[in-house]
Amino acid sequence: MNQYNTYVLAVEDDRQIRNYICYLLNTEGFRYTAASTGEGALSILVSEPIDLMLLDLGLPDIDGMEVIRKVREWSDMPIIVISARDQDKEKAAALDLGADDYLTKPFSATELFARIRVVLRYLYKQNSGSKVQSSLQVGGLQIDLDKRLLYVDGSETHVTPMEYNLLALFFKNIGKVLTTKQILKEIWGIGYGSDTQALRALMAGLRRKIEKNPAKPRYILTEIGVGYRLVDE
C-alpha cells in the first residue's frame, strides 16, 4: 500500500516516540519527515508539500495550539494531535481550533493508522469532489440520507428528528471524533453552545435505540472530556 503517496510530517520532541512513529509510517509505505520543535515544524510546512501532520501538543519551544492556529491560516491539511492522558482540555481545544483528530499516549500502531485512514479518506474524498453517498453503513447500522431512514440490523427503526440529525452528523464523520461543542453547534445551532445536558439526554435516547447495551456502546463511543466518535469498521 503506498497510501496515495501521502507525505506525512511527524512533530514530536521525544526521540523515542518520534522514532517509533517514523518507523510505523515507514512500514506502511508513507513518505515522511520529522521535526522535534514547533519552529522546526513550521519551517518544514512552508517549504515542503506536506499532506498530513501528526502534532505533539507538548513541544519545547512553541505551544502546539499556536502551530495549529498558524497552519490553519493557509492550509486545511489534516492534523492529528498527540497528547498525554490528562490533557483533555487541550485536546478539545485543539479540535475546536481545527485539528481533525487526536491520539493519546501511549498509542498502538493500530490506533495510529485508524486515525490516519479516517482523515485521509475525508481528504481524498474532498479533493476528488465525489458526492456524499446517500446510503451509509457501519456494522449493523444503515442510514438512508435521502429518505431520512434508519435500519438497525436490517429492520427499520424509528428515531426522533433530533436523534436522526445527530446520527446523520456522525455518519458524515465516520471514525472521526466530534467535540461536544461541534455537535451542539451543528444540531442546536449557535447560541445553544453550552447545553451539554441536552446532548447527553439526546445521546442516551439514541443509544437506547441503536445499541444493545447503552453502557457498552458498539457504535457511538464516548471520549470522556472531549466528545463522541462513531466507530469506523
Cell of 105: 499516549
Binding residue (CB under 8 A) for another protein from 33, 97, 107, 149: 107
User: Should residue 46 be labelled a site residue for another protein when binding is judged by CB under 8 A?
Assistant: no
Measured CA to CA, the distance from residue 54 to residue 50 in angstroms comes to: 11
User: Should residue 108 be labelled a site residue for another protein when binding is judged by CB under 8 A?
Assistant: yes
In our burial notation (b when 16+ CB lie closer than 10 A, e otherwise), range 13-40 reads beeebbebbbebbeebebebebbbebeb
User: Should residue 88 be labelled a site residue for another protein when binding is judged by CB under 8 A?
Assistant: yes
User: Should residue 113 be labelled a site residue for another protein when binding is judged by CB under 8 A?
Assistant: no
Q: Give the helix/strand (H/E) hosting 156.
A: strand 155-156
> Applying CB under 8 A, which part among 100-108, 128-136, 170-178, 185-193 lies near another protein?
100-108
Tell me the closest approach of the beta carbon of residue 3 to another protein, in angstroms: 18
Which of residues 17 and 149 has its CB atom nearest to another protein in the complex?
17
User: Should residue 204 be labelled a site residue for another protein when binding is judged by CB under 8 A?
Assistant: yes
> Three-class SS of residue 172?
coil
Q: Give the helix/strand (H/E) hosting 48.
A: none
HSE-up of 27 (CA within 13 Å, CB side)? 9
Residues of this chain, 139-198, that bind another protein according to CB under 8 A:
196-197
What residues make contact with another protein under the rule CB under 8 A? 14, 16-17, 19-20, 23-24, 84-86, 88, 105-109, 196-197, 200-201, 203-205, 207-208, 213-217, 221-225
